[in-house]
Amino acid sequence: MDNQGVGMRQQFPVEGKWSLGLQSRAQPREIMTDVLKALQELNVCWKKIGPYNMKCIWTVVIPGHQGGMVNDSVHSDDNEVVPKSTVVKFELQLYKTEEKYLLDIQRLEGPQFAFLDLCASFLERLHVLE
């Protein structure tokens, strides 16, 4: 019995560094100005935690559904459907990498799909990304 290959792991070549987030070569001030403008357009409220870090809250109005099992709305006295709202809390932070800046977005609370919708709308409004 030949035990030469036991305990040996296959080595994979390292192809370079990877990062998760939005990358830009723009200056930090320009990036943050663009970020704040996009957040304002989306009616997101934010609280500055540091020079390049903020906690954000986005209130999403979910239209009420008439009937069915998916009725999460609140009914008023006039039997009108009042839209229910949900809140998405997230944090933004700008990091410096070797050649670029990296904007990290992290969901803190709220529905995942609402957060993904917010991210898509946010990305559409940013102009400083590569």
pLDDT in tens, 33-82: 999 999 999 999 999 999 999 999 999 876 654 444 444 445 555 555 55
CATH architecture of structural domain 34-64+81-130: 2-Layer Sandwich (3.30)
Cα 48 versus chain centre, distance: 17
Cα–Cα distance, 56 to 49 (Å, whole number): 10
| Average pLDDT score over residue span 4-9 | 59
C-alpha distances out from residue 8 to 4, 14, 15, 16, Å: 8, 18, 21, 24
Q: Which band of pLDDT confidence, cut at 50, 70 and 90, is reported for residue 6?
A: low
Cα–Cα distance, 20 to 112 (Å, whole number): 18
Bridging pattern class, strands 81-82 and 74-75: antiparallel
